[in-house]
């Protein structure tokens, strides 16, 4: 954003103030994440930079907290990671199937009571998590599903579907329905048309909705706090317990891994978004 | 010219109108069938349980079921003087049954909620009732303790007759029904819930304001920079957005602790003395700082998507018509971004008002919100009906905002990323 040469001095000053403010806000947004990286390699047990770290002494850095995370006898991270992945994967599959099918119905122009139904389908995203947690806990307790993987997976499907519904309906809004009619006129049955024509075109939306559902489940702690027993502990639950009791460097090692994971998800989501925009560009 | 004379028929001889309606109906059913699985799943697992919360929050059957005969006999009692022998006899009968089932302790706890002083007199009554003779129960019960001869206590029992009660909602607002049956507030120093409601609104409001003030300039920058730079800067917004909430809270716990980096920095530039480091965590400051950073992306993204659609030539037009850049911004650009501001502010406010995890970790005692109180009653005191009542009070507030959001932005227009 270079300024034109004729800009008056006080606007020039104002422009630089504006850029400084922007830089400060970006710093505020991103810097906290980068505190975690170096501290997770701390050789000592403290959560602040030691003098050795400040002078970049190699002895001040170590992998001991990563070793502790993986091999530590008292650390429940292994079980937690396993549970988290199992729950998130099944919750994602459930959310994607239910959400995509519902989105197909919702974007049909024949859908009756569209506004009302959309409001119900989106509600788990809007209602505060603590209330969802209480309500879902009452249901799961009655259904005998409290403290089971099934219960948590169902709860996360509830929380994850709104994201799939939103992303897929957004993708379908630019969808050219004449291609499905063309397929039908050529003798394809609806299921075949969906698999061969519709799905490939809306796939970016489906996957990015799935990513949202995955992250929602993988990061969810409020509802799981109500539902989980000792057997169903997840990474967020362990982090929550750890942060409440004792902030140990092992948590920072886990946090670093989670940041790497979220970076991967971010990159995937961005690539998908661009691909989807390209595809819809062709349709126009 | 009547329309009936001009009915168009399809090749099967059916009027076109009927045939179209039939096709329309078929399509409607088809569309609905696609939505049905998710809709019914959510209704059963989510909407009904929220209704169940409503039921739990007003349910007060316990005492009603423990003293059925007493309440039946009390129907004819006007509550002015002590009830007559019939009520005492019925109460005795109910009470003996409760003692047999060993449930008189529950009764005393429940009645004690309504009026203090029931615990000891029920214990005394249990002991005395073993030696009761048949008939004239009024005299015998009144002889056990002078409170049994006090009409106030019988009125307190009568107040528990209805199966449903709104008292949990009153309690959530620090009010209760006093002996005369009037709704009054509790004493000034015991109004903990009102403090929490106000604090929740205050924190949600200021977090929204801070987010808006920070998000507006960077959303503008992102929308006006050339693609290749803005994509790079967008990562600064999206990476925190995709990162686990607990990771971000943990990083604030490290930064804000007394020996943490922010305090080190303040000491380093001489703002505070080393031995007098301010407490920045476990209080309101902690909640404000962490929540603002965590919710900031939810403000930037809607603002950005609106600003992206505003053509830069509008600002140039404003300037060429004689406006200074400030006037052009204020009169042309800013009004165009109002939909984005509305969307972002409502989204952040809704999220902030129900926040639980971050205030619980960095908020301490003075930075916790109403959600923390709900969780406390769910997990610690196990007063689920009270937790439900407060949850629904919070929910009704959120639904009003949701409705506003729908009016202003439309839920179909929610965009992610």
Interface test with A, best of B203, B210, B247 (most A CBs within 10 A): B247
d(CA B393, CA B193): 12
Report whether B388 contacts B57 (CB < 8 A).
Answer: yes
pLDDT at position B50:
93
Q: In this complex, is the C-beta atom of A217 within 8 Å of any C-beta atom belonging to chain B? A: no
- For the cut 60, the answer to whether the pLDDT of residue B59 exceeds it is yes
Contact A128/B354, CB-based, under 8 Å? yes
pLDDT per residue as tens digits for the range B312-348: 888 888 888 888 888 888 888 888 888 888 888 988 9
- How far does the CA of residue B165 sit from the closest CA of chain A (Å)? 20
Ranges of H-type helices in A107-198:
114-126, 129-143, 149-173, 178-185, 190-193
Sign, CA dihedral A136-A138-A143-A149, equals positive
Residue among B215, B240, B395 minimizing CB distance to A30: B240
Nearest to A274 by CA among A204, A207, A210: A204
Dist CA A100 CA B318 (whole Å): 45
DSSP A6: T
CATH of domain B192-413: 1.10.3720.10
pLDDT > 90? residue A74: no
Query: Both A255 and A163 in a single domain?
Result: yes
pLDDT band of residue B409 (cuts 50, 70, 90) is: low
Domain ranges of chain B: 3-58, 61-163, 192-413
A residues 261-280 closer than 8 Å to B (CB): 262-263, 265-266, 269-270, 273
Say whether B250 and A163 touch across the interface (CB within 8 A): no
The interface pTM score, or ipTM, of the predicted complex is 0.86
Asked whether the predicted pLDDT for residue A32 surpasses 60, the reply is: yes
Q: Are residues A181 and A227 in the same domain?
A: yes
Which of B221, B244, B407 best tests the A interface by mutation, with the highest count of A CBs <10 A? B244
| Residue to substitute from A126, A137, A209, A236, interface B, most B β-carbons within 10 A | A126
Q: What is the mean pLDDT of residues A171-196?
A: 87
Which of the four pLDDT bands, split at 50, 70 and 90, describes residue B1? Answer: very low
Higher pLDDT, B19 or A56: B19
- In which band, very low, low, confident or very high, does the pLDDT at A2 lie, cut at 50, 70 and 90? low
For residue A129, the chain B residue with the least C-alpha distance is B354
pLDDT exceeds cutoff 70 at B191: yes
Chain A residues with beta carbon closer than 8 angstroms to that of B381: none
- Asked if B352 contacts A218 with a C-beta cutoff of 8 angstroms, the reply is no
Is A65 a residue whose pLDDT tops 50? Answer: yes
CATH of the domain at A262: 1.10.3720.10
Q: What is the pLDDT of residue B415?
A: 54
Rounded to a whole number of angstroms, the distance from the CA of A243 to the nearest CA of chain B is: 7
A238 and A107 assigned to the same domain = yes
Residues 6 or more apart in contact with residue B349 via CB below 8 angstroms: B204, B205, B208, B401
- Please check whether residues A148 and A49 belong to one and the same domain: no
CB pairs under 8 A between A and B: 271
pLDDT at B417: 44
Describe chain B by its helix, strand, coil percentages, rounded to 5. 75, 0, 25
- Pick from B72-76, B273-277, B372-376 the range whose average pLDDT is largest: B372-376
pLDDT of the residue at A10: 81
| Listed residue (A184, A206, A22, A270) closest to B218, CA to CA | A22
Helices (H) and strands (E) in chain A, counts: 13, 0
* Contact between chains at B246 and A32 (C-beta distance less than 8 A): no
Number of domains in chain A: 2
Lowest mean per-residue pLDDT among A184-188, A214-218, B411-415: B411-415
Asked whether residue A125 falls in the same domain as residue A253, the answer is: yes
Residues B4-19 have a mean pLDDT of 77
> Is the pLDDT score of A162 beyond 90?
yes
Q: Is A278 found in the same domain as A223? A: yes
Q: Are residues A57 and A102 in the same domain?
A: no
If asked whether residues A19 and A92 sit together in one domain, one would say no
Nearest to B375 among A11, A46, A130 (CB): A130
**Does A139 share its domain with A91?**
yes
Same domain for A58 and A98? no
Reported confidence tier of residue B414, pLDDT bands at 50, 70, 90: low
Q: Are B190 and B174 in contact (CB under 8 A)?
A: yes
The reply to whether A88 and A229 lie within a common domain is: yes
β-sheet bridge partners, residue A42: A61
pTM for this entry: 0.85
Q: What is the pLDDT of residues B225-275, one digit of tens each?
A: 888 888 888 888 889 888 889 999 999 988 888 888 888 888 888 888 877
- CA-nearest residue of chain A to B225? A1
Residue B285 has pLDDT above 90, yes or no: no
- Determine the pLDDT at residue A1: 55
Residue of A157, A243, A270 lying closest to B361 (CB–CB): A243
pLDDT of residue B141: 86
Contact B34 A105 (CB under 8 A): yes
Between positions 167 and 206 of A, the ones with CB within 8 A of B are 167, 169-170
Q: What percent of chain B has pLDDT over 70?
A: 96
Residues A76-123 pLDDT 10s: 888 889 999 999 999 999 999 999 999 999 988 888 888 889 889 989
User: What mean pLDDT is predicted for residues B279-297?
Assistant: 90
B117: left (phi > 0), else alpha (psi -120 to 50), else beta? left
What angle is formed at CA A45 by the lines to CA A43 and CA A51, rounded to 5 degrees?
60
List all residues of chain A from 33 to 92 with a beta carbon under 8 Å from chain B: 33, 35-36, 39, 46-49
Nearest CA in chain A to B384: A134
- Inside any domain, residue A73: no
Instruction: Look up the domain containing A124 and give its range.
Output: 79-283
Q: Name the closest residue on chain A to residue B360, using Cα atoms.
A: A244
Same domain assignment for residues A57 and A148 = no
Q: Is residue B178 within 8 Å of residue B185, measured between CB atoms? A: no
Render pLDDT for A40-56 as a digit per residue (tens, 0 to 9): 887 777 777 777 677 77
The nearest CA of chain B is from the CA of A145 a distance in Å of 12
The percentage of chain A sitting over the pLDDT mark of 70, rounded to a whole number, equals 95
Task: Reply yes or no on whether the pLDDT at B218 is more than 90.
Answer: yes
With a cut of 90, say whether residue B6 has pLDDT above it.
no
> Mapping DSSP to helix (H, G, I), strand (E, B) and coil, where does residue A145 land?
coil
Per the domain annotation, does A3 fall within a domain?
no
- Taking contacts as CB-CB distances below 8 angstroms, the residues of chain B near A124 are 42, 46
N- to C-terminal Cα distance for chain B? 57
Please give the residue of chain A at the shortest CA–CA distance from B393.
Answer: A131
pLDDT surpassing 60 at residue B416 = no
- Which tens digits make up the pLDDT trace of B25-40? 888 898 899 999 999 9
* Chain B residue nearest residue A1, CA to CA: B225
Summarize pLDDT for B134-184 with one digit per residue, the tens.
878 888 888 888 888 888 888 888 888 888 888 888 888 888 877 677 788
């Amino acid at each position: 954003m270079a300024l034109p040469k004729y800009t008056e001095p006080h606007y020039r000053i104002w422009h630089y103030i504006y850029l400084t403010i922007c830089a400060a806000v970006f710093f505020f947004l991103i810097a906290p994440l980068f505190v975690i990286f170096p501290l997770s390699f701390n050789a000592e047990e403290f959560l602040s930079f030691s003098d050795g770290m400040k002078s970049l002494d190699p002895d001040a850095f170590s992998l001991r907290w990563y070793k502790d995370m993986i091999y530590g006898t008292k650390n429940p991270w292994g079980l937690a990671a396993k549970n988290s992945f199992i729950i998130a994967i099944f919750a994602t599959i459930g959310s994607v199937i239910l959400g995509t099918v519902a989105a197909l119905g919702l974007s049909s122009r024949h859908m009756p009571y569209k506004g009302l139904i959309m409001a119900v389908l989106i509600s788990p995203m809007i209602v505060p998590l603590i209330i969802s947690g209480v309500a879902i806990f009452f249901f799961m307790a009655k259904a005998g599903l409290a403290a089971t993987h099934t219960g948590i997976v169902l709860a996360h499907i509830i929380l994850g579907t709104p994201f799939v519904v939103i992303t897929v309906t957004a993708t379908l809004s630019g969808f050219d329905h004449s291609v499905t009619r063309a397929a039908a006129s050529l003798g394809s049955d609806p299921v075949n048309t969906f698999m061969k024509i519709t799905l490939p075109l809306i796939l970016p939306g489906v996957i990015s909705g799935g990513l949202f559902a995955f992250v929602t489940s993988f990061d969810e702690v409020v509802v799981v706090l109500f539902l989980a027993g000792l057997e169903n502990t997840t990474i967020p639950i362990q982090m929550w317990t750890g942060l409440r009791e004792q902030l140990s460097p092992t948590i920072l090692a886990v946090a670093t891994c989670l940041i790497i994971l979220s970076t991967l998800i971010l990159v995937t989501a961005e690539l998908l978004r661009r691909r989807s925009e390209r595809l819809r560009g062709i349709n126009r | 010219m009547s329309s009936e004379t001009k009915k168009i028929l399809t090749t099967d001889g059916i009027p076109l109108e009927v045939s179209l309606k039939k096709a329309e109906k078929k399509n409607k059913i088809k569309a609905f069938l696609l939505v049905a699985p998710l809709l019914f799943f959510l209704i059963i697992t989510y909407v009904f349980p929220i209704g169940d919360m409503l039921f739990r929050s007003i349910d007060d059957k316990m005492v009603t079921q423990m003293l059925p005969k007493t309440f039946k006999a009390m129907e004819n009692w006007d509550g002015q003087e002590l009830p007559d022998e019939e009520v005492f006899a019925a109460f005795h009968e109910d009470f003996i049954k409760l003692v047999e089932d060993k449930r008189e302790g529950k009764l005393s706890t429940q009645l004690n909620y309504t009026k203090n002083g029931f615990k000891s007199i029920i214990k005394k009554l249990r002991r005395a009732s073993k030696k009761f003779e048949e008939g004239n129960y009024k005299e015998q019960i009144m002889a056990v303790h002078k409170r049994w001869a006090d009409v106030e206590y019988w009125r307190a029992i009568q107040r528990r007759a209805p199966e449903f009660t709104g008292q949990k909602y009153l309690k959530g607002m620090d009010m209760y029904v006093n002996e005369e049956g009037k709704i009054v507030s509790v004493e000034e120093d015991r109004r903990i819930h009102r403090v929490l409601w106000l604090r929740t609104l205050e924190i949600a409001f200021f977090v929204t304001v801070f987010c808006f003030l920070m998000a507006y300039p960077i959303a503008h920058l992102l929308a006006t920079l050339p693609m290749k730079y803005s994509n790079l800067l967008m990562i600064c917004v999206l990476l925190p957005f995709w990162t686990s909430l607990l990771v971000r809270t943990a990083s604030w716990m490290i930064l804000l602790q007394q020996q943490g980096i922010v305090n080190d920095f303040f000491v380093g530039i001489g703002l505070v003395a080393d031995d007098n480091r301010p407490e920045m965590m476990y209080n309101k400051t902690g909640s404000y700082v962490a929540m603002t950073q965590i919710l900031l992306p939810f403000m930037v993204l809607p603002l950005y998507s609106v600003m992206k659609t505003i053509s830069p030539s509008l600002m140039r037009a404003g300037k060429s018509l004689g406006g200074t850049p400030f006037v052009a911004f204020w009169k042309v650009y800013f009004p165009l971004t109002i939909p984005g501001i509305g969307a972002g502010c409502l989204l952040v406010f809704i999220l902030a008002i129900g926040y639980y995890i971050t205030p619980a970790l960095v908020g301490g005692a003075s930075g916790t919100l109403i959600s923390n109180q709900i969780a406390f009653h769910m997990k610690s005191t196990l007063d689920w009906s009270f937790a439900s009542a407060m949850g629904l009070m919070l929910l009704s507030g959120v639904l009003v905002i949701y409705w506003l959001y729908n009016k202003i932005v439309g839920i179909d227009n929610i965009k992610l990323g």
